[in-house]
Amino acid sequence: MRSFFTSLALVAGTYAQSSAYTDANTGITFQRYLDSEGVSFGIAIPETPASDFIGQMVAPSNGSGYAGVSLASEMTGSLLVVAWPNNDSVVASLRETRSGYTSPGVYTASGLSMSPILNGTFVNSTHMAYTFLCSGCMGLTLSFAGNSTSITLGWALGTQSVTNPSSASTASFTYHDGGFGNFGLTLSSATSASYASWAAMATNGTGSGGSISNSTCTSTATNVTATVSNSTYDYIVAGAGPAGIIVAERLAESGKSVLLLERGQASTYVTGGRSTMAWNDTITQYDVPSMAYYLSTASDTSEYCTDVASMAGCILGGGTMVNAMMFVRPQEADFNDKWPAGWKFPDVKASADRLYERNPGTTLSSDDKQRYDQSAWDVLSPFFRSIGYREIDAIQSPNEKTRVFSHPPWDIQDGLRAGPVKSYLPLAKAMSNFKLTLNTKVVRAVRNGSTISGVEVEHSTGARQIININPGGKVILASGSMSTPRILYNSGIGPTDQITTVANGCTGIRLPSQADWINLPVGKNLRDHPIFTMTFNTTANATSLLSTDFLSPSTSNIDLFAKGSGPLAQSGQRFNFWTSMSTANGTRYFQGTCNSPAAGQVRIKLYLTHGATSSGVLGITSDGATEFTTNPWMNTDADKTAVITLIDSLLDAARNSSSLIPSSTMSGASLVSNYITGDHFVGTAMMGSSNDGTAVVDTDTKVFGTDNLFVVDASIHPDLPTGNTQAIIMVVAEHASSKILALGNSATNSSSIATAPKNSTCKASTTSGSRRQPKRRMTTFMRYGV
């Protein structure tokens, strides 16, 4: 899946330059780039550049979609000016691009704003124009310097409708399917003595193209009304990702009534999903393993959450529907190193065995027992043998994680994407005491002191409803590391500053009284795998299947897939390896996933995994989205040293080999800060043996300070595993379900009990007080799956 600006890496001489242009509507003279697609972007700056500039973006428009310009040449980590039509108005926002799957997040640094110049801002039958003063926008690490002679920027167009188009802060948009590119501007020719009079035309008024500020939400909802459902349940599980499905199914086996809530839509064809393939209308894009690397170019890109700090799947199956299907069974050390008593590997082994019986994973996914498109394996396996690595089967030997390689372990069954949607959900749906509800977002746990009485949900229409549990019932949060913290904050659980942001925000959340707030370190201990990419030319005969082989496959491959075989029944990786490094402050593990991106090339994506010491913090914005307040990647010197050492050792070996040719400038030092995110987040509601200020849940997964609120997802994991997270998340869910069941439940065995008149209502209001400016929100956009 591609980054927002996949192709913005510079190649000298391949990008267009600018020329002078005077806009007839405003009289402003810009240095302007004009693309053959009809996209233009112009800049004007004062004779003595400081931090402000005037910009003008014009793009083709049919009344929907968006246009964006990146203020830096890098494909990620740049400031993005994005604008879109909303009826007869233009709405614009400052965003930040990062690697990942979600819509770029609002950039909220203090002192930045965009104010439109109304004469140059309009929507007509063919085009949209946005002319604006960008205050404080030059000289940032995410943008260009005002004293540069020339700069390189990037543009992108999207044709699909923007979600929440009336709001600059909450709107979201998808992959740039209308085109993208990079261009040069001669900034030294953009100066003018008339700049001050032009800048004075910028307005702070509202209406068409009104002042854009990213610092606060636009309104405060104080009278959000929720109806009360007339059905109650013994267990309510919030989130139908891998953890939620497994725990819901195991709880339903007890005979108690279980409601599983998912904010997204159906995914696979058998669950009701209808995002079908052009070449087969009885399967969806989520069923086909080979589509794992191409979901962002598929017909439907609604599977990603748009209000989280980084990638998360908002669809039935969660991350297991949008990941690249790596199924790395955890090694014993993944549990033994940092998990508390009761969660060491001997404790969880039986739970792992139960999982693998239903959902085993495989290193040979094609039913005909053949492997397809193996040039990367053919090149890399002899190379790694030559430097002392040995071949294993990663499914059969999960404890082998040092100097070993394997065919990729995938979560594929019967030639289709597997996971709990395939292996657990059908068992749950066969039980009369189980109910699944889609398109329903859990907003908060409703609590009175320490006791949870139910959940408040928001339906796809925006209507809210309270669903209660039976006496003795339990609520289990399984919304993932990026979203479970939001539910906890909205429930008055977490650091005081985050709950205060909710109280002063614009989401209409009814919080408990401040005296009942529970101060726990929600959002802290955030961890993720950083990934470093090395691409090598090769002297071997390396071929590579093109994207068209998967998006528009041949008849022979379609026929093979119908039999559960062929390249369509494989994910994108072709070779995997693992190794470790002993350091003064512990052992660090590494994983590599490899393929051939083009003929004559092989690519290694190197993950820093178990033993990494970097961590971050996840917070919440006033409009209810989660954000990184501290980035979790590569913020310790020990992690940087380990990565540099391993990369350099691989590059040295490659330069001494007869098959791999790395770039002469590639080194560990050049790559250590050039990483993409693994989007394998853990730790934001960490488990601990006691309420000592570091943990959020106890060893039964119950939230400290509550009687019956539990968390079962990646957020409770105290540490990163050695590989991709989906397998260990499933193991933990199996074990957690047994812990919760062992606590007992005094509720009745009824699946639906009327406890309130249907359509009765209650009002939810926020606490009054001054608004707190949200911290800088750093989110991610689409890239190739890992």
User: Per-residue DSSP letters for 272-305?
Assistant: T---EETTEEEEETTT-GGGGGTGGGSS--TTB-
Inside any domain, residue 370: no
Write phi, then psi, for 277 (nearest 5 degrees).
Answer: -85, 150
Mean pLDDT of 105-130: 85
Question: pLDDT by residue (tens digit) across 255-282?
Answer: 999 999 999 999 999 999 999 999 999 9
- Among residues of the chain, what percentage have pLDDT more than 90? 68
Query: Taking 70 as the threshold, does the pLDDT of residue 98 lie above it?
Result: no
**What is residue 9's predicted lDDT score, i.e. its pLDDT?**
34
Query: Taking 70 as the threshold, does the pLDDT of residue 195 lie above it?
Result: yes
pLDDT: which is higher, 80 or 591: 591
Question: pLDDT by residue (tens digit) across 745-770?
Answer: 644 433 333 333 333 334 333 333 33
Mean pLDDT of 152-177: 78
**Model confidence band, residue 380 (pLDDT cutoffs 50, 70, 90):** very high
Report the half-sphere exposure of 569 (CA within 13 A, side-chain side). Answer: 27
**What is residue 603's predicted lDDT score, i.e. its pLDDT?**
96
Average the pLDDT over each of 168-172, 236-240, 321-325 and give the range with the smallest value: 168-172
Residues 568, 563: Cα–Cα separation, whole Å: 11
**Domain CATH code at residue 139:** 2.60.40.1210
The answer to whether the Cα torsion of 550, 556, 561, 566 is positive or negative is negative
How long, in residues, is the chain?
786
Query: Taking 60 as the threshold, does the pLDDT of residue 146 lie above it?
Result: yes
Question: pLDDT by residue (tens digit) across 418-434?
Answer: 999 999 999 999 999 99
**What is residue 34's predicted lDDT score, i.e. its pLDDT?**
86
**What is residue 767's predicted lDDT score, i.e. its pLDDT?**
35
Inside any domain, residue 206: no
Q: Which of these, 67, 265, 62, lies nearest to 173 by C-alpha position?
A: 67
Check if the beta carbon of residue 469 is closer than 8 Å to that of residue 747.
yes
Mean pLDDT of 124-150: 89
Q: Which of these, 711, 678, 753, lies nearest to 101 by C-alpha position?
A: 678
Residues 767, 773: Cα–Cα separation, whole Å: 16
**In 3-state terms, what secondary structure has residue 266?**
coil
Question: pLDDT by residue (tens digit) across 303-354?
Answer: 888 888 888 899 999 999 999 999 999 999 999 999 999 999 999 999 999 9
Inside any domain, residue 159: yes
How many domains is the chain partitioned into structurally?
1
**What is residue 522's predicted lDDT score, i.e. its pLDDT?**
98
Inside any domain, residue 58: yes
Question: pLDDT by residue (tens digit) across 690-724?
Answer: 999 999 999 999 999 999 999 999 999 999 999 99
Check if the beta carbon of residue 28 is closer than 8 Å to that of residue 56.
yes
Residues 114, 211: Cα–Cα separation, whole Å: 6
**In 3-state terms, what secondary structure has residue 199?**
helix
Inside any domain, residue 363: no
Mean pLDDT of 376-394: 97
Query: Taking 90 as the threshold, does the pLDDT of residue 168 lie above it?
Result: no
DSSP-derived letter for residue 212 is B
Looking at 412-567, list the stretches that DSSP marks H as alpha helix, in order from N- to C-terminal side. Answer: 420-423, 425-429, 484-490, 496-503, 548-551, 555-562
- Beta-carbon contacts of residue 558 (< 8 Å; ≥ 6 apart): 279, 280, 568
Residues 413, 651: Cα–Cα separation, whole Å: 36
Query: Taking 90 as the threshold, does the pLDDT of residue 208 lie above it?
Result: no
Question: pLDDT by residue (tens digit) across 479-533?
Answer: 999 999 999 999 999 999 999 999 999 899 999 999 999 999 999 999 999 999 9
Check if the beta carbon of residue 69 is closer than 8 Å to that of residue 154.
yes
Check if the beta carbon of residue 496 is closer than 8 Å to that of residue 517.
yes
| Host domain of residue 126 | 19-199
Inside any domain, residue 37: yes
- Among residues of the chain, what percentage have pLDDT more than 70? 87
Query: Taking 90 as the threshold, does the pLDDT of residue 548 lie above it?
Result: no
**Model confidence band, residue 161 (pLDDT cutoffs 50, 70, 90):** confident
SS3 of 392-406: the string is CCCCCCCCCCCCEEE
**What is residue 76's predicted lDDT score, i.e. its pLDDT?**
60
Q: Where are the beta strands (DSSP E) in 596-694?
A: 601-608, 617-620, 626-630, 660-661, 675-677
Q: Rg of the chain's alpha carbons, rounded to an integer?
A: 26
Inside any domain, residue 167: yes
Please report, as a single letter, which amino acid is at residue 286: Y
Mean pLDDT of 544-554: 88
Q: Which pTM does this prediction carry?
A: 0.77
Q: Which of these, 139, 68, 142, 81, lies nearest to 113 by C-alpha position?
A: 81
Please report, as a single letter, which amino acid is at residue 583: T
**In 3-state terms, what secondary structure has residue 336?**
helix
Inside any domain, residue 532: no
Q: Which of these, 676, 698, 677, lies nearest to 687 by C-alpha position?
A: 698
Provide the total of helices (H) and of strands (E) in the chain, helices listed first: 14, 36
**What is residue 224's predicted lDDT score, i.e. its pLDDT?**
66
Residues 366, 684: Cα–Cα separation, whole Å: 37
**In 3-state terms, what secondary structure has residue 555?**
helix
Question: pLDDT by residue (tens digit) across 425-463?
Answer: 999 999 999 999 999 999 999 999 999 999 999 999 999
Check if the beta carbon of residue 187 is closer than 8 Å to that of residue 150.
yes
Question: pLDDT by residue (tens digit) across 616-671?
Answer: 999 999 889 999 999 999 999 999 999 999 999 999 999 999 999 999 999 999 99
- As to burial, measured by CB atoms within 10 angstroms (0-12 exposed, 13-18 middle, 19+ buried), residue 97 is buried
Please report, as a single letter, which amino acid is at residue 762: C
Residues 279, 550: Cα–Cα separation, whole Å: 10
Which positions are annotated as active-site residues? 680
